[in-house]
Amino acid sequence: MFSLSIVVPVLNEAILLPSFLRQTTDDLESGGLDWELILVNDGSTDRSLEIMREFAEGHERVEVIDLGANHGPGANLLQAYNLASKQFCCYATVDRFYDTRLLPELMEHFNEYD
């Protein structure tokens, strides 16, 4: 079984966060992966940080990093990648541009390629 860290930068995503968190963790659980979700608050001024922290309290595989201010995509991703502890790491966005339902199936192909 492969293990996967998913890093997610967050900036003022309170409207989308609840559904993203539910759907993504459901996708990963149903896919049978060893996973962790690393959420990076990049200076949100809405309820994003509060939503992430509340969700993480009930999910031991979810970690929240608060940068305290907006540092931009380079800094927030660097923080998340530095904490990633699984065999593989990928990036996701709260708007679900990347379909996390596909991750378990895609990871099965790692054995086929070097």
pLDDT at position 110 is: 77
Distance between CA atoms of residues 108 and 102, nearest Å: 10
Q: To which residue do tokens 């998340």 refer?
A: 80
pLDDT at position 55 is: 98
Below-70 pLDDT ranges, the chain: 1, 114
Distance between CA atoms of residues 71 and 75, nearest Å: 6
The pair of three-digit structure tokens given for residue 106, joined into one six-digit string = 């895609």
Strand pairing partners for 80? none
pLDDT at position 97 is: 80
pLDDT at position 104 is: 81
42-75 pLDDT per residue, tens: 999 999 999 999 999 999 999 999 999 999 888 8
pLDDT at position 114 is: 59
pLDDT at position 31 is: 85
Query: Which residue in 50, 29, 27 sits closest to 96, CA to CA?
Result: 27
**Count of beta carbons in the 10 Å neighbourhood of residue 109:** 8
